[in-house]
A and B are shown apart, each in its own frame.
Chain A
Amino acid sequence: MDIYLPIAEMSVNALVILVLGGVVGFLSGMFGVGGGFLTTPLLIFYGIPPAVAVASSATQITGASVSGALAYWERGQVDVKMGGVLVAGGVVGAGFGQVIFRLLQDFGQIDVVISLIYVLFLSVIGTLMLRDALAALLARRAGRLVPTRRMRHLPWVAALPWPMRFPRSGLYISPLAPLALGAAVGVLTVIMGIGGGFIMVPAMVYVLGMRAQAVVGTSLFQIIFVTATTTLLHATASQTVDIVLALLLLVGGVTGAQVGVRAAQKLSPDRLRLVLALIVLGVAVRLFIGLTWTPAEPFALFGGQ
């Protein structure tokens, strides 16, 4: 079933996109991660122009985060004050990211840089996840309890000026730290087309020292707003948001997530983490090969301007 994407200006197989969205949704349902960091590279592998892949992936994440955020909202596990600060930082970061994105596009380097940043992030995160998962598996086999890390914010975070109270998060810290964190993730959202939950969640726990119950809900809350801002920025600055592509991904993703949630309940969490770590590393290796192997086509075309 072929469908012509009006913005990507190419004909794609709708089933492939649905399945792609479904597989990423399955993984996100299984592991509770957004999956944007897999959507963008997979779309690029399929031949979607990188700029369109990044922008449409951000749009898809907005929709995919809604149901999760609502569920956490109902349980009162969203810290709106903290989320607001993160969003404020995220919007600033997204604007800054857009400037970088535009510059890279003008220099014809956007696809190289997107791949490069992905290789960097995916390999670091994949390795960390693999290490954690293996440690947990080994510890369980040895019959020991898995050591839990202490959650206390870093000393330099505590030293920042103008501390504020964030009751839901159980924190009394300066808003500068979440502001900076939000901005950093905002830049990545624009350039990589990710929600950034896989960076935000650990950072909230280990850097800010937030109370665990409020972490995921607040992260989803900020993802909705920052990815929506990103969609607006890409739509107005580079006209690369393909709504048809985003909705196809969303339909596949929502369905896949349901299956993923059910599958996760039947499998051991440590094994799941191991599988996810291997998938992430696999995508990183594939991207790395694309960057380093002698390309079959030594030239690239850039239109317009």
Chain B
Amino acid sequence: MMARVIGRAGLLAMAWLALVGAAPIRLITQLSQARIDINTSFRGAELLVFGAIQYPRGAVPDAPPDIAVVVRGPAAPVTVRQKTRVAGIWVNARGVRFESVPGFYAVASTRPIDALADDRITAIYEIGIRNLQLSPASGADEATTRAFEAGLVSIRERAGLFAERPGGVAVTRGVLYSARIALPAAVPVGDYTAEIHLVGKGRVLASTSTGFAIGKSGFERWVYVMAQQHSLAYGLAAVAAALLAGGMAALVTRRRW
């Protein structure tokens, strides 16, 4: 009974494929780590995104499609303020608030993003830093918003938190792909996603998404959680630690001022 149902479904699928003319291409993805720990010696990390392109009936085309790997971190609101001179001193003046700015955003692709697909497609899939939907709060005019957005992007790029790496994806024999994404020491903690898009003839042929987490671990995590959730106890402990360290120093050195 079961076998007949499956068999019939298979027949139907084959009939559908014959009508449409192509089976869907599938992407298989694996990440080097499901979780990245920030510990005392954390100096940044490298995430390896790799996998295979599964063509229908294993027929690898002569011109293999392109791959774009998009890694993004947790989104948070950010206010961008412009420095303005007031009485000779640079102060942080008016600001534009962006509601959802990913704490980390990196794109690696086989070719420059412009060469992958037209603007409409890259915008829909948010491939490329300029295609990010940062949701600026209404109020400022468009030119101002664009200028502030450029300021935000340039600061994040310099910190290594926004990155575009054309040519950062290697494809072997048209089937296996891999990309290395550099995560700087300043990456925010939280839930991340790695999206892999297969792009051919200006269209996105297949996409997959895999999640991973970046979190503080061990001592770092303990200190951070204490500071956030038990802030009074943490403050008291900090004072006690400072007094203890100072007292021990006084004992060791027996110094007289």
Contacts and interface: CB of A to CB of B under 8 A. Distances in A.
Partners in one complex: yes
Interface of A: 2-4, 6-7, 9-11, 32, 59-60, 62-68, 70-72, 108-109, 111-112, 116, 216, 224, 228, 231-236, 239, 241, 243-244, 246-247, 250-251, 254, 257-258, 261, 291-292, 294-295, 297-305
A53 B237 CA distance: 18
B238 A299 contact: no
Given A4-B220, A6-B224, A235-B232, 7 more contacts: A63-B241, A64-B246, A231-B242, A246-B241, A254-B249, A292-B88, A300-B81
A233 to B, nearest CB: 8
Nearest to B89: A291
A301 B152 contact: yes
Contact of A4 (B38, B88, B151, B241): B38
B238 A251 contact: no
B235 A67 contact: no
B148 A299 contact: yes
A234 to B, nearest CB: 8
Contact of B257 (A60, A71, A108, A244): A71
A243 B232 contact: no
B173 interface: no
Nearest to A233: B235
A216 B256 CA distance: 13
A258 B253 CA distance: 8
Contacts of A9: 186, 188
A234 B232 CA distance: 10
A224 B236 CA distance: 13
B155 A301 contact: yes
B223 A4 contact: no
A7 B3 CA distance: 59
Contacts of A303: 76-79
A32 B224 CA distance: 34
Contacts of A232: 232, 235-236, 239
A244 B231 CA distance: 15
Interface residues of B, number: 59
8 tightest A-B CB contacts, nearest first: A235-B235, A66-B246, A299-B151, A67-B250, A63-B242, A63-B246, A11-B185, A254-B249
A258 B255 contact: yes
A261 to B, nearest CB: 6
A236 to B, nearest CB: 5
B38 to A, nearest CB: 6
A70 B255 CA distance: 10
B242 A60 contact: yes
B192 to A, nearest CB: 16
B228 A239 contact: yes
A60 B241 CA distance: 10
Contacts of A67: 246-247, 249-250, 253, 255
A64 B95 CA distance: 40
B63 to A, nearest CB: 42
Contacts of B238: 59, 231, 235, 241, 243, 246
Contacts of B253: 67, 254, 258
Contact of B250 (A66, A235, A243): A66
B231 A112 contact: no
A140 to B, nearest CB: 24
A109 B92 contact: yes
B148 A7 contact: no
